[in-house]
Amino acid sequence: MSKKKSFLRQFWQEKKMVGAMAPSSRFLAQKMLKDIDFETARVIIELGPGTGVFTDKILEFMHPDARLLVFELNDHFMEQLRKRYTDPRVRLIHDSAEKIQEYLDTEGLTHADVVVSSLPLANFPKELRDSILHAADHALLENGHYVQFQYSLQSKKQIQKVFRKTKIRFTPLNFPPAFVYACRK
Ligand SMILES: C[S@@+](CC[C@H](N)C(=O)[O-])C[C@H]1O[C@@H](n2cnc3c(N)ncnc32)[C@H](O)[C@@H]1O
């Protein structure tokens, strides 16, 4: 099954969790990863990889000594990710994004340099959004990056409350068009 079909099927089954009908475009991937300094980043966390559009790019650019912790809650996506990613730098975690700290501890890691999130925050209850944003903030090193895309500006205030600086970019070259929040701890 193609990635597009697989994505659409998961969307029909779990609309709120998956939050999109198709994988993100390469244009959105470029905008999401634009500010990351892959030379220096040693711990990268990805939340909600789906079929791995951003994961592929992160792996292409990340340092040979860097680690990538990937959180995906959907069973089908996780099964596909397990078949696809055998790179020893990657740890695939079939659990929810708010448990970042628990898995950093298990891996013996103290912090993350970057968090790349595709989670459909606007679909979540406020408590879950808060809990995930605070978990990401807590995990980040001072001045670390939090990058998040959304299809609306609905979560803007909540994101800005947690992170020190937030730049918002827009890309029409995605279905649906998306806003990228590039934040600093
Ligand atoms: C909008 S999709 C983005 C997929 C992919 N990154 C892309 O851009 O094409 C959101 C993803 O977040 C995952 N997800 C939703 N809630 C989650 C949670 N609490 N923890 C981890 N992953 C979650 C969904 O299963 C889905 O794969």
Q: What is the DSSP annotation of 37-70? A: -TTT--EEEEE--TTTHHHHHHHHHS-TT-EEEE
Number of folded domains that form the chain: 1
Residue 167 structural domain: 3-184
CATH number of the domain bearing residue 59: 3.40.50.150
Give 106-152 pLDDT, tens digit per residue: 999 999 999 999 999 999 999 999 999 999 999 999 999 999 999 99
Q: Whose CA is nearest to atom 24 of ligand 1?
A: 18
Give 69-96 pLDDT, tens digit per residue: 999 999 999 999 999 999 999 999 999 9
| Ligand 1 residue neighbourhood (C-beta within 6 Å) | 17-20, 23-24, 47-50, 53-54, 71-74, 77, 96-97, 118-120
pTM score, whole prediction: 0.96
What is the whole-number distance in angstroms between the Cα of residue 49 and the centre of ligand 1? 6
What is the whole-number distance in angstroms between the Cα of residue 16 and the centre of ligand 1? 10
Q: Where are the alpha helices (DSSP H) in 25-149?
A: 26-33, 53-61, 75-84, 100-106, 126-139
